[in-house]
Amino acid sequence: MSKRRVVITGMSVFTPVGIGLETFWANILAGKSGVERSPVLMKAHCPWQVAGEVRDFRPEDWISRKDVRRMDRFAQLGLAASYMALQDSGLVLEKENRERIGVAMGTAYAGWEFAAREYEVYQKNGVEALSSYMGIAIFTGACGGQISLHLGLQGQSTTTATGCDCSSATIAQSADLIIRGDADVMFAGGADAPIHPVIVAALGASRALTDRNDEPAHASRPFDRKRDGFVMSEGAGVLVVEELQHALQRKARIYAELTGWASTCDAYHMCQPDPDGTQAVRCLRIALARSGLRPEQVDYLNAHGTSTPLGDRAETTVVKKAFGEHAYNLPMSSLKAALGHMQGACGSVELAACCLAMRDNIIPPTINYEFPDPECDLDCVPNVARHRRVNVAVSNSLGFGGRNTALVVERYRDGHVSESSGANGKPATHENGFAAD
């Protein structure tokens, strides 16, 4: 039997800079920030008030009002993103064997908002006033379960809750399932909606967050010498990960081929990265080895780049060790400058950006870069998007507890090559002053 291969045939993003691939991508390339002062955090007098919110999301556009009331916002975002990814993929579920299609979703905070709201009800009116849906709304598997239920997908349905790397991990796990022959298609990604004063204040107290309330759009500044913490954000990203022959048989549009993936753990500290980066380096090397690529063949690295002093410095060290001399020739940008940290959604959204960079041969910028840091001295594509041929891209994800996941995507070469067009066949147009490489 020939080796099964894994491709990406559908993508969707719900982010602070826009919903849908083309709006998201145009705003990212234009250097727009989705970070603002949050009315919820301001009302609570939270010391950390900047956040990235999906402000134009109306769950009723995707989900019945009855079901909206039964879900936390993170599940609403994830389910809506799955519907959009389904549309983008061109899959006709009525023609598919739904037992061969599964779901793998990641989340860091799950149904926190629903739980906090119901706790207020409990304090005011007692246990009898609690929603009968609270138990199924707040647990970590709620989003993946709702996707399986609403799309009628009867393959394996799993949830990964490893934090910041979890949606990258779900994509890697989905690829493993497809390679083993246990699935033909997986809906993989992540969703989180943690913009609540308690969660934000807890992370602020741990000194993980920026307190630049007076300049929200410039608060997240990865690799910049004046970075002082990350911005809490919400959102969702879902990718349709598919076995190659299955995709070819239905004449699917292929964004990219997923050729390498790996996960490791520092086993060092719950919050701080290992300054030597040994396991994060090993993760990148395993992913590249699995893809059969040499470090110098990578054209773009999407960095985790959270804007924390320790994290960005450690990631720079990791990239130098993993890529050697090529690290200094490798464009490496962080979308968290524009999006903030979307927690369980960031990895899937960032991999989608890698695929779009490959589609359009444009590398997105790291905005808010003003003050060079000698300890972060690699090419972070400062402030302006850059034209460059991208055949190979790597997405790097690092998380609490020392979790590391790396994903490698390549331009699909055997026909049905990704074109520079929008999800609906419309040409991708950009009106930005991109820098030529």
Active site residues: 164, 304, 341
3-state DSSP call for residue 10? strand
275 sits in which H/E element: none
- Judge contact between 175 and 258, C-beta under 8 A: yes
- Judge contact between 257 and 102, C-beta under 8 A: no
Question: 180-212 burial string, b = 16+ CB within 10 Å, else e?
Answer: eeebbbbbbbbbbbbbbbebbbebbeeebbbeb
43 sits in which H/E element: helix 39-43
Q: Which residues pair with 399 in a beta bridge?
A: 403
Determine the Cα–Cα distance for residues 244 and 241; give it in Å rounded to an integer.
9
- Judge contact between 114 and 77, C-beta under 8 A: no
Determine the Cα–Cα distance for residues 204 and 197; give it in Å rounded to an integer.
10
Pairing assessment for the beta strands 386-387 and 392-399 based on DSSP bridges: unpaired
Closest CA to 231 of 217, 203, 210, 201: 210
- Pinpoint the alpha helices (H) of 298-385: 309-323, 336-339, 346-360
CA dihedral of residues 374, 432, 409, 247 (deg, nearest 10): 170
Q: Position of tokens 């349709």?
A: 240
Question: For the chain, what percentages of helix, strand and coil (3-state, to nearest 5) are there?
Answer: 40, 20, 40
- Pinpoint the alpha helices (H) of 206-330: 244-249, 278-291, 309-323
How far is C-alpha 122 from the geometric centre of its chain's CA atoms? 34
